[in-house]
Amino acid sequence: MTLQVELVSADRMVWSGQASQVIARTTDGEIGILTGHAPLLGVLVDGEVRIAGDSGPVSATVDGGFLSVDHDRVTIVAETARVGAERDN
């Protein structure tokens, strides 16, 4: 089983795909999401979101937002999000 993950910012879809794990920092601390995770809604703090994507690891920098988990579907919504080389700009 895999997670279906969508990472979106206020103006665009940043990344979408399947993953085995998502790690993000919330106001309650760092959280790891695996398949079968209980439904969750968390408030993100500025920092890194790490996704163990089926096609390789993805690292994104987000500026706040929230994380929703429901039935192996993870939705990450951030004011701004930058992936890979975008993070250095």
Instruction: List pLDDT tens digits, range 53-65.
Output: 998 999 999 999 9
All domains of the chain, ordered by start, with CATH? 3-83 (2.60.15.10)
Residues pairing with 13 in the sheet: 8
The answer to whether 75 and 16 are in contact (CB under 8 A) is: no
Cα–Cα distance, 60 to 19 (Å, whole number):
14
Half-sphere exposure of 37 (CA within 13 A, CB side): 22
Instruction: List pLDDT tens digits, range 23-82.
Output: 999 999 999 999 999 999 999 999 999 999 998 999 999 999 999 999 999 999 999 999
The CA dihedral of 22, 27, 29, 32, to the nearest 10 degrees, is: -20
Model pLDDT, residue 87: 55
